[in-house]
Homo-oligomer: A and B are copies of this chain.
Amino acid sequence: MTVEMTEDELNARHAEKMRKKKVVRDKILASKNVEKGLLIVHTGKGKGKSTAAFGMAFRSLGHGLPVAVVQFVKGAMDTGERMALERFGDLVSINRLGEGFTWETQDRQRDIAAAQHAWETAKELIRSGEYHLVVLDELNIVLRYDYLPLAEVIAFLTDEKPADVHVVITGRNAPDALIEIADLVTEMELIKHPFRSGVKAQKGIEF
């Protein structure tokens, strides 16, 4: 049996449904009262992992809150993002410390040394407590290649990260141990990609 509703009935039903929804939402929101620096992980094969992390950086900067970025894979951050971040001057600390993509360097020892140097810098920036948000861009990649001891990274993030510092870690294949200790984990899943139809990387979109 189909019941046809008039516009007025539709509107009235909508108003009632939304009134109830608001009551539920307000109740849920009121129960959330913990403030803490979050450990956030963006992983998965889809796009947007680093882009969303940098989006969070811009959000903090918009509030006038300082941000640090450590790049574990040089060349992974595009020039557009870097130039936009640099607009915020002293509020931002950009550290491009990793080596290039592994298939560019083809040199394991150099990659390991660069990853370790980047990690030392990341620890200093996080420990300093001077940054509201620290982005560890593509850290998952160097963890995947065992260029850093995973246990040490997990121990540092668990025991030494100041309580009010937010840390965002990006890259495919986030290790299970990292997901385990994270507060917020999002997996970017690829549904459709223009590369499949021969479209090349374009300025302001891919880099």
Contact = CB atoms under 8 A, between A and B. Distances in A.
Interface size classification for chain A = 35 or more
A184 B192 contact: yes
A63 interface: yes
A143 interface: no
Contact of A59 (B33, B81, B102, B183): B81
Interface string A10-27: 110011001101100100
A51 B62 contact: no
A187 to B, nearest CB: 4
B47 A15 contact: no
Give the number of times this chain occurs in the complex, counting copies.
2
A142 to B, nearest CB: 13
A120 interface: no
A129 to B, nearest CB: 15
Contacts of A61: 80, 84
Contacts of A207: 59
Given A166-B204, A190-B186, A199-B35, A48 B52 contact: yes
A188 B190 contact: no
Interface of A: 10-11, 14-15, 18-19, 21-22, 25, 28-29, 31-36, 38, 40, 42, 44, 46-48, 50-56, 58-63, 65, 78-85, 87-88, 102-109, 132-133, 166, 179, 182-195, 197-205, 207
27 contacts: A15-B106, A18-B106, A21-B102, A22-B106, A28-B195, A29-B201, A34-B199, A36-B199, A44-B189, A50-B55, A52-B52, A58-B58, A59-B81, A59-B84, A59-B205, A60-B204, A62-B82, A65-B203, A87-B88, A133-B205, A183-B194, A184-B192, A185-B190, A186-B190, A187-B189, A187-B191, A188-B189
